[in-house]
Structure 1
Amino acid sequence: MESVLQVQGRIKRRGPVTHLYHFKVDIFYAVIDTQLQELNDSFSEVSSNLLECMACLNPCNSFLAFDKNKLCEFAGYYPSDFDGNDFVMLEYQLDTYIADVQLDPDFLNLQGIADLAKRMVEKKKHIVYPLVYLLVKLTLTFPVATTSVERAFSAMKYIKTYLQNRIGDEWLNDCLVPYIEKDVFDSIDNEAIMIEFQKVKPRRMIL
């Protein structure tokens, strides 16, 4: 790896380059920079900060990633779930919670936040630390909610096309629900749908 790399074509101005430097800088670092740039383009600053805050609940390595300030900041993104008094109580609960779970052998070797939620319910910790458990629930539901929104916006471009750009909100909603929830509607018999549609209002012919 320390041997000089034979450069094909034009001679580079930076001088001789070893194989190790080529693989480490020209390839490995370049790939990492490209991946980081793609991640930065995919997530906004708010989304990135949310992910960093949620990661503070990770129970791996004896809750090594725990950060009370980040978790309080995470709660600030949900003003409808946390009011002024809740923020004060949350700080106290977080201090007690981290000291409790780090000393509890039942919370060792947890693999993720989902395991943490299950263990908190099993050991009744969700009753002792309700605000901390609320953060855990919000963390678990955040990816699902985000995915649902992304699916809805992706489906909208197929439903609300150039020819149907004046479609009303109610009609748009009625069209989006069957398109997004295809699995649910595939389980419904077509005969039942026609009967229900026939009952909506009198029609000239029976479907």
Structure 2
Amino acid sequence: MKTLLGMTNDLSQALQKKDQNIINAMHLVRVSKQQLQMLRDGGWEDLLKEVSSFCEKNNIEILNMDEKFVAPGRSRRDVEETTNLHHFRVEVFYFVIDLQIRELNDRFNEVNTELLICMAYLDPSNVFSAFDKQKLIRLAKFYPSDFSPVELMVLESQLGTYILDVRSRAELSNVMGICELAIKLVKLKMDDTYPLVYLLMKLALLLPVATATVERAFSSMKIMKTRLRNRMRDEWMNDSLVAYIERGILKTIDNDTIMNRFQNMKTRRGVL
């Protein structure tokens, strides 16, 4: 676990920073995935040697990996045909790494990662040094209902004019962050001049809402994840967290509506 957590520590620290660089954070996600995969593919033997060495130094009995694995509290008669080697390598080592990789893939799939990276090219820091027209066109393509093929062509033209304009304005030279930039554009009436660029900016500003939701979820975990709830399955825990986090919304739903909803569920029909 020390090795595993060490690989994702830099990523964890980067994602918690208020002034995080999205591009660097997404690169760290990819690096973490690669490290975990490399550990899975070739890290077992080194780990086994390290554990064996630790046991020898501390006079701890080393298990024979070729013997049958016996779970604590179970009789040898009831054990399955599984060796210690198979249990610790497949059911523990591979399982934990696969779980971590799967979590990273679920949270940061290719689409989400590319979306976040493209959004970062709107950043006005250092006189819009991150600006990349093609990346921003790519960002707009993630919103086909907001940008038609014709509007994408217009956006490309607007972006070319927009970047020359904003870089030449002294009042925008010290702007930090997309939110502050959007406010400045409205004050300068530039949202009317570059409507599609401003629309793209507004869509990008919706993404931090997801980050805030995650922060609220982690904060709520400290309250919800008691010793008893540690035994819950993930789906049940997620449902409980939603009910706790969004309790303001749930308070507006009356009991009759909830009971009717429950009764109409085909797989869980019941009489209340």
Question: Please, what TM-score do these two structures have when normalized by structure 1?
Answer: 0.59
Residue in 2 that maps onto 1:73:
138
Give, as a single letter, the amino acid of the residue that structure 2 aligns with 1:158. W
**For residues 39 and 106 of structure 1, do their structure 2 counterparts lie closer, same or farther at Cα, with a shift above 3 Å needed?**
farther
Residue in 2 that maps onto 1:141:
206
Q: Do residues 84 (structure 1) and 149 (structure 2) align?
A: yes
Paired with 1:39 and 1:180, the residues of 2 have a C-alpha distance of 30
Q: CA deviation at 1:63?
A: 0.2
Q: CA deviation at 1:86?
A: 0.2
Residue in 2 that maps onto 1:158:
236
Map Cα deviations across residues 45-69 of structure 1 (whole Å, 9 max, x no partner).
2222111110110000000000000
**For residues 143 and 103 of structure 1, do their structure 2 counterparts lie closer, same or farther at Cα, with a shift above 3 Å needed?**
same
**For residues 39 and 142 of structure 1, do their structure 2 counterparts lie closer, same or farther at Cα, with a shift above 3 Å needed?**
farther
Map Cα deviations across residues 29-88 of structure 1 (whole Å, 9 max, x no partner).
x86896334477341222221111101100000000000000000000100000011011
Give matches, 1:100-179, under 5 Å. 100-145=165-210, 157-158=235-236, 179=244
**For residues 160 and 54 of structure 1, do their structure 2 counterparts lie closer, same or farther at Cα, with a shift above 3 Å needed?**
closer
Q: CA deviation at 1:144?
A: 1.4
Paired with 1:64 and 1:183, the residues of 2 have a C-alpha distance of 42
Structure 2 gaps, min length 5: 1-5, 12-27, 35-103, 222-233, 261-272
**For residues 33 and 159 of structure 1, do their structure 2 counterparts lie closer, same or farther at Cα, with a shift above 3 Å needed?**
closer
Structure 1 gaps, min length 5: 1-29, 162-174, 201-207
- 8 Å Cα contact 2:7-2:32 kept in structure 1: no
Report how many residues are paired. Answer: 149
Residue in 2 that maps onto 1:27:
none
Residue in 1 that maps onto 2:120:
55
Residue in 1 that maps onto 2:163:
98
Q: CA deviation at 1:157?
A: 2.3
Paired with 1:87 and 1:149, the residues of 2 have a C-alpha distance of 32
Map Cα deviations across residues 103-157 of structure 1 (whole Å, 9 max, x no partner).
0111111110110011011111111101000111111102315765996xx9x92
Paired with 1:127 and 1:87, the residues of 2 have a C-alpha distance of 17
Paired with 1:70 and 1:160, the residues of 2 have a C-alpha distance of 35
Paired with 2:190 and 2:242, the residues of 1 have a C-alpha distance of 38
**For residues 34 and 58 of structure 1, do their structure 2 counterparts lie closer, same or farther at Cα, with a shift above 3 Å needed?**
closer
Q: CA deviation at 1:158?
A: 2.9
Give, as a single letter, the amino acid of the residue that structure 2 aligns with 1:79. P
- 8 Å Cα contact 2:8-2:32 kept in structure 1: no
Paired with 2:147 and 2:189, the residues of 1 have a C-alpha distance of 22
Q: CA RMSD in A?
A: 3.8
Give, as a single letter, the amino acid of the residue that structure 1 aligns with 2:196. L
Paired with 1:135 and 1:94, the residues of 2 have a C-alpha distance of 11
Paired with 1:34 and 1:64, the residues of 2 have a C-alpha distance of 25
The alignment partner of 2:122 has SS state of coil
Question: Please, what TM-score do these two structures have when normalized by structure 2?
Answer: 0.46
The alignment partner of 2:206 has SS state of helix
- 8 Å Cα contact 2:121-2:132 kept in structure 1: yes
